[in-house]
């Protein structure tokens, strides 16, 4: 956990020099290699063109979470017309439009909590992912976010009850909605063409999640996906429309890192799981995924590391057609007498029955 981020002076070191490990960078960041440098140049080119069209920085708020002593603030800074924030958050748009926005990196964002503003800094992709030390009561709260050039926008933050003992972490693709993501053409279709109205929810899964929230008040629901932050508004609208309980989305920023061409989705999930376990030492987690990708392997490895922190692993079994599109399915050969409870069913109702048999519902 870190405290509030410091704000660089307006005439301080150049963001490119700082990110590249120049003389003023100290230990702030490792040197950027060619892929990331090319991406940064492309973003700066797009930013210049967008500003000439009159676009200004706006903050796209995402749902955050925290304890009674700190909050994790999630958002992204984009160049857009001021009214575009509500359009992107609430209006029906096709997926590809989410990827036409221009991110603004290395900009200061002011986070307002109970009338006090805390400055944080967006990363090179415009993403804000910072922890701020504040004291809030359990439940839902609203914070504000703004840049020096934008009006404040509101973002929800869920504070986990210190008395809570169970948390829920769920995959998104083929777990809460049917996407057949591993098939490249279908992945492109689902990501760039379809809007949230055309996506299909997994039967009974929203009811299962709602039961878990009802039976374990004060517990967090976290949606963990390898999807890009660009699709966060679309996923949020989908979850709300199909009555999934609200909770933070933990996504990733597509594109090069400081030392590789593409980010690893598995590493993103592994790091997120480890972080959540460390942040909430009193919680045991129910992990929800499907048998068509890598969820079983990922959850099995994580459960082996933290067997005392896993209440159960619930795996949604794909249908025959979905399994073909997903490239097959796992065998599900976990020891039923082992320390981890594994449950399998094709829908949320079947998973709910088995979790209830373990006393988790």
At 261-280, the pLDDT tens digits run 455 678 889 999 999 999 99
Please report which confidence band the pLDDT of residue 160 belongs to, taking 50, 70 and 90 as the band edges.
very high
Q: Which two tokens stand for residue 215?
A: 């039976």
| Confidence (pLDDT) at 125 | 84
| Mean predicted confidence (pLDDT) in 311-326 | 75
Crossing angle of the two packed helices 348-357 and 205-215, in degrees rounded to 10: 30
Domain span(s) for CATH 3.40.50.1000 in the chain: 166-357
pLDDT of residue 291: 86
Asked if pLDDT for residue 192 goes beyond 80, the answer is no
Residue 359: partners with Cβ closer than 8 Å, 6 or more residues away: none
Q: What CA–CA distance (Å, rounded) separates 164 from 160?
A: 7
- The residue among 182 and 299 whose pLDDT is bigger is 299
Q: What CA–CA distances, in Å, run from 345 to 49, 72, 116, 171?
A: 51, 33, 47, 15
Both tokens of 185, joined, read 């053409």
Q: What percent of the chain has pLDDT above 90? A: 48
Mean pLDDT for 305-317 is: 95
Q: Which DSSP string corresponds to 45-90?
A: HHHHHHHHTT-EEEEEE--EEE-SSEEEEEEEEEEE-TTHHHHHHH
Over residues 252-263, the pLDDT tens digits come to 876 544 444 455
| Type and span of the H or E element at 60 | strand 56-61
Q: What's residue 75's pLDDT?
A: 95
pLDDT: which is higher, 39 or 343: 343
Please, which pLDDT band fits residue 333 given cuts at 50, 70 and 90? low
Helix (H) or strand (E) holding 304: helix 295-305
Give 306: exposed, middle or buried? Use CB within 10 Å, 0-12, 13-18, 19+: middle
Query: What is the predicted pLDDT for the residue at 130?
Result: 97
Does 12 score more than 90 pLDDT? no
Q: How confident is the model at residue 337 (pLDDT cuts 50, 70, 90)?
A: low
What is the reported pLDDT for 18? 33
pLDDT at 234: 84
Q: Write the class of the CATH domain 166-357.
A: alpha beta
Q: What is the model's pLDDT at position 8?
A: 36
Sign of CA dihedral 283, 284, 286, 292: positive
Check: CB of residue 21 under 8 Å from CB of residue 31: yes
Given a contact cutoff of 8 angstroms between Cβ atoms, the answer to whether 296 and 327 are in contact is no
CA distance 284 to 272: 15
Task: Return the number of other C-beta atoms located less than 10 Å from residue 14's C-beta.
Answer: 11
pLDDT at 104: 87
The pLDDT confidence band at residue 316, using thresholds 50, 70 and 90, is: very high
Where exactly does CATH 2.60.40 map onto the chain?
Answer: 1-9+55-159
Residues 6+ apart with CB under 8 A from 358: 312, 341, 343
Q: What is the pLDDT of residue 131?
A: 97
- Could you tell me the fold of the domain covering 1-9+55-159? Immunoglobulin-like (2.60.40)
Quote the mean pLDDT of the chain. Answer: 79
User: In angstroms, what is the C-alpha Rg of the chain?
Assistant: 21
């Amino acid at each position: 956990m870190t405290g509030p981020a410091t704000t660089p002076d307006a005439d301080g070191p150049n963001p490119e020099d700082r990110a590249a490990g120049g003389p003023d960078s100290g230990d702030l960041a490792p040197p950027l290699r060619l892929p990331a440098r090319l991406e940064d140049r492309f973003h700066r080119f797009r930013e210049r063109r967008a500003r000439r069209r009159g676009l200004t920085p706006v903050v796209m708020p995402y749902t955050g979470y925290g304890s009674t002593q700190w909050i994790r603030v999630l958002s992204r800074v984009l160049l857009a017309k001021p009214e575009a924030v509500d359009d992107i958050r609430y209006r029906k748009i096709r997926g590809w439009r989410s990827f036409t926005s221009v991110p603004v990196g290395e900009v200061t964002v002011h986070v307002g909590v109970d009338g006090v503003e805390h400055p944080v800094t967006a990363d090179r992709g415009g993403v804000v992912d910072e922890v701020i030390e504040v004291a809030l009561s359990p439940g839902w709260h609203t914070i504000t976010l703004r840049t020096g050039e934008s009006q404040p926008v509101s973002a929800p933050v869920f504070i986990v009850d210190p008395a809570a003992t169970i948390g829920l972490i769920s995959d998104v693709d083929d777990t809460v909605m049917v996407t057949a993501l591993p098939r490249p053409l279908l992945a492109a279709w689902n990501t760039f063409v379809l809007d949230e109205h055309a996506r299909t929810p997994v039967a009974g899964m929203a009811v299962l999640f709602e039961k878990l929230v009802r039976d374990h008040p004060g517990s967090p629901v976290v949606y963990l996906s390898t999807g890009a932050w660009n699709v966060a508004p679309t996923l949020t609208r989908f979850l709300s429309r199909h009555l999934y309980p609200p909770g933070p989305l933990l996504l990733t920023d597509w594109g090069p890192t400081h030392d590789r061409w593409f980010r690893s989705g598995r590493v993103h999930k592994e790091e997120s799981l480890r972080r959540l376990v460390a942040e909430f030492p009193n919680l045991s987690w129910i992990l929800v995924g499907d048998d068509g990708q890598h969820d079983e392997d990922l959850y099995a490895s994580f459960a082996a590391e933290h067997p005392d922190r896993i209440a159960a692993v619930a795996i949604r079994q794909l249908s025959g057609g979905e399994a073909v599109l997903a490239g097959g399915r796992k065998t599900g050969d976990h020891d039923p007498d082992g320390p981890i409870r594994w449950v399998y069913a094709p829908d949320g109702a079947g998973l709910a029955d088995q979790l209830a048999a373990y006393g988790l519902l």
